């Protein structure tokens, strides 16, 4: 009952087996669908009567739009405008998924390593494809720039390759660890409250962990947005880097 890891359990809601694949709808998948439906409904209603004079919801949407637009512009430059739709949907998906997970009894799908590493690997593969598409085989020059002394090249290539391969891993683990750590922290501190209440003499002190949990939830809300922001900024940097033409 008090296991802090219990809420990260993936449950199978609707078992579906197609050929040899397991395509079951788990609670993780259900929350992802819920997130997408919420985004679609929110944007559908918000932009229904879009006009020169924005309605209240249109203001919110425009704010988010320009927020991500600024990130893309500062990190990827003007030729990065093509990245905007992908970055915007990535931000909304991660951000709203994180915030849904904060609700009591809800499941946060970003607390599954496979989801976050999966999203990070998509960014990684796209960055390689864009790099080869924009620069041709010249893209691999990136691992071995010109003008290096010959004795340093082997070390440089190895180090560069390792840091390149660790990008999706660090990107995925950062999001995963932030969400899991926050949830576990909230549950452990809520557990303190339960154990204070069960001792009759000290039951009044239980208010302290509960009050602290309220603060922690506000902090978590900030972390949820911040992590979506960081994910977008970093993937924007990676994609922009592979898009940039090498000057030589």
Partner 1 sequence: MDPVAAKFIGGGIAVIALFGVGIGLGKMFSSLIEAISRNPSAKKDLMSTGFTCFAMVESVALLAFIVAMCLLFVV
Both tokens of 126, joined, read 């796209």
CB of 190 to partner 1, least distance (A): 17
Q: Of 114-143, which residues contact partner 1 (CB under 8 A)?
A: none
Contact status: 29 vs partner 1 (CB under 8 A)? no
- Residue from 106, 233, 241, 244 in contact with partner 1 (CB under 8 A): 233
**Position 221 contacts partner 1 (CB under 8 A):** no
Among 49, 89, 170, 195, which residue interacts with partner 1 (rule: CB under 8 A)?
Answer: 170
* Cα end-to-end distance, the chain, whole Å: 63
- Using CB under 8 A, pick the residue from 102, 126, 184, 216 that binds partner 1: 184
Stretch that binds partner 1, among 144-152, 158-166, 171-179, 210-218 (CB under 8 A): 171-179
In the set 60, 148, 181, 208, which binds partner 1 (CB under 8 A)? 181
Contact (CB, 8 A) for 202 and 196: yes
- Residue closer to partner 1 (CB basis): 159 or 226: 226
The interface region with partner 1, picked from 31-39, 52-60, 177-185, 202-210 by CB under 8 A, is: 177-185
CB-count burial class (<10 Å; 0-12, 13-18, 19+) for 147: exposed
Return the residue of 73, 142, 174, 187 that touches partner 1, per CB under 8 A.
174
**Does 230 help bind partner 1 (rule: CB under 8 A)?**
yes
Q: Which is nearer to partner 1, 121 or 173 (CB)?
A: 173
Give the per-residue SS3 of 183-215. HHHHHHHHHHHHHHHHCCCCHHHHHHHHHHHHH
Residues 6+ apart with CB under 8 A from 22: 16
Q: Are 116 and 32 in contact (CB under 8 A)?
A: no
CA–CA dist 186, 189 (Å, integer): 5
- What's the longest Cα–Cα distance across the chain? 76
CA distance 125 to 215: 39
Among 72, 90, 94, 180, binds partner 1 (CB under 8 A): 180
Take residue 162 and report the two structure tokens written for it.
């390792």
List residues near partner 1 by CB under 8 A.
5, 71, 74, 170, 173-174, 177-178, 180-181, 184, 226-227, 229-230, 233-234
């Amino acid at each position: 009952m008090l296991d802090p890891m219990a809420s990260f359990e993936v449950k199978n809601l609707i078992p579906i087996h197609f050929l040899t694949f397991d395509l079951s709808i788990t609670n993780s998948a259900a929350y992802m669908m819920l997130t997408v439906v919420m985004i679609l409904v929110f944007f559908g209603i918000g932009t229904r009567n879009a006009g020169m004079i924005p309605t209240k919801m249109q203001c919110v949407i425009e704010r988010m739009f320009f927020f991500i637009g600024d990130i893309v512009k500062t990190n990827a430059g003007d030729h990065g405008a093509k990245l905007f739709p992908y970055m915007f949907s990535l931000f909304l998906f991660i951000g709203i998924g994180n915030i849904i997970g904060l609700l009591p009894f809800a499941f946060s799908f970003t607390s599954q390593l496979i989801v976050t590493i999966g999203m990070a690997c998509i960014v990684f593969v796209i960055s390689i494809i864009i790099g080869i598409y924009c620069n041709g085989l010249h893209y691999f020059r990136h691992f071995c720039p010109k003008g290096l002394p010959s004795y340093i090249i082997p070390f440089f290539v190895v180090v560069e390759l390792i840091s390149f391969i660790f990008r999706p891993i660090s990107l995925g683990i950062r999001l995963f660890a932030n969400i899991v750590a926050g949830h576990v922290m909230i549950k452990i501190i809520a557990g303190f409250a339960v154990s204070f209440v069960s001792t009759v003499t000290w039951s009044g002190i239980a208010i302290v962990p509960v009050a602290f949990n309220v603060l922690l939830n506000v902090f978590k809300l900030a972390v949820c947005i911040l992590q979506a922001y960081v994910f977008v900024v970093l993937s924007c940097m990676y994609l922009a880097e592979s898009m940039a033409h090498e000057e030589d």
